[in-house]
Amino acid sequence: MADEITGKPAVSKPKIKDIKLNSILEVTKAINSNFSTEKLLEIFENVLRSQLSIGKLILFSYDEDWKCLLKYGVEAEMATIDVAKEFGHIKEISTIDYTSSAAQHTFEIVVPVYHKASPLAYVLIGDLNEDKLEVSAAIKHLPFVQTLANIIMVAIENKKLAKENIRQAAMRKELELASEMQNMLFPSKLPNNGLLQIAAYYLPHQQVGGDYYDFIQLDENEVAFCMADVSGKGVPAALLMSNFQANLRILLNNMSSLSDLVKELNTKVIQNAKGEKFITLFIARYNIVTKILTYINAGHNPPLLGTENSITMLKVGCTGLGMFDELSKVKEGVVSIDPGSIVLCYTDGVVEIENEEGEEFGVSMLKDTLRSKFNGDMETLNNTIIADVIRHKGSRPYVDDIALFSCRIF
């Protein structure tokens, strides 16, 4: 039987209904079989273009930005429509009213695809021939087009989420391994005897961080200890610090002076960081027999040297490592240590953390805590400092790594 208006063979309603049902089944099977996004879009195009005779279509999907996933029957420039501007306000199936005159007559309908309150996609469809009296397929099949688009776009979004979950799981594993490797950098045991009592504390801002402390027994009479901080955070900072620690330990036993050591470390940082990061460092050598502490402060927060009667800051040194190709002026500080003195090393995450009024914890509060706990053990001192920091910051988040290295010299 022919259609009375167009003269074309009529397509019975049951057949159209069967086409739509079979299309839903085909898409469902494809989703269950984990077909690729490209294959799902191919099925979508075949159903709309070949079986429902929709002549023009563009499918825009959101993935950090609006991208054209599928188009046919239109010029290439139609894929560059400003989706957010043109359709961001549309929540229901609507006729198109472009602000861009170049695209005004290309499409008839926009079909939004939402998940909860967020748009996943916009389907633009059109095939109206104004010289014909027939109803446009784009209009006749709108509810079905919307249903099929929803099914396919949700499936594509689920695929994205699954990939993202896999990516995040792999990243978490990498971070766990990086964290384990970083923990291996820190000394597993610190001295607590009649000569030295040392305790350390480290809290990375992220799973891995860029702060580092170390203690090395050089020989029977001499020890070395240090604290360092890489600019930046996360895995890049941790990797640079790992390399720095390896170089420091190798060079420490082969350099006649701390000045030569620091100059060579600066060269290594320049080579490895390529000017993108720098490292602040405090490093000291202590002779147990002579009670002399020799140190260099390379742009680091000055450690506190506390005695029963005073607190001084260990500032002598040079600029941070990796800031300049060469360190022309490197000064060594030399201090005679009174028995019972405390050297307290820390990173800027301790003193720069702010409270809800924007006030930093500061060096003065750190000195107050050192005075109040001067006669206690080093672990108690560290724990008290952290408790004071937590109380000071209140509800404010940590914004940097925090490290403490407290050493009492008998």
Pick the closest to residue 150 from 184, 116, 198 (CA basis).
Answer: 116
CB hemisphere CA count around 238 (13 angstroms): 22
Q: What is the pLDDT of residue 380?
A: 97
**Rounded percentage of the chain residues whose pLDDT exceeds 70:** 90
**pLDDT tops 80 at residue 152:** yes
The amino acid that residue 236 corresponds to is: P
What pLDDT band is residue 265 in, cutting at 50, 70 and 90? very high
**Measured distance CA(183)–CA(186) in Å, rounded:** 6
63-94 pLDDT, tens digit per residue, is 888 999 999 988 877 778 888 888 888 888 88
pTM of the model: 0.64
Residue with tokens 């909860």: 116
Average pLDDT of span 310-338: 95
**Measured distance CA(172)–CA(231) in Å, rounded:** 23
**Main-chain phi, psi angles of 193, to 5 degrees:** -145, -165
Q: What is the pLDDT of residue 98?
A: 61
Least confident of 10-24, 128-142, 173-187, 261-275: 128-142
Question: CATH 3.30.450.40: which residues of the chain?
Answer: 13-163
Structure tokens, 338: 């009174």
**pLDDT tops 50 at residue 132:** no
- Length, in residues, of the chain: 410
Q: What is the pLDDT of residue 136?
A: 57
**Main-chain phi, psi angles of 142, to 5 degrees:** -55, -50
Least confident of 98-107, 153-162, 273-282, 349-358: 98-107
Average pLDDT of span 267-280: 91
SS3 of 293, please?
strand
93-125 pLDDT, tens digit per residue, is 888 766 654 455 577 788 999 888 888 899 998
Q: Which residues contact 125 (CB under 8 A, 6 or more apart)?
A: 48, 54, 56, 57, 107, 108, 109, 111, 138, 145
Beta-carbon count within 10 A of 110 CB: 23
Task: Please state which CATH number belongs to domain 186-409.
Answer: 3.60.40.10
Question: CATH 3.60.40.10: which residues of the chain?
Answer: 186-409
Q: Which CATH number fits domain 13-163: 3.30.450.40, 2.40.30.30, 3.40.50.300, 1.10.10.10?
A: 3.30.450.40
Structure tokens, 376: 């206690």
| DSSP state for residue 321 in the 8-state scheme | B
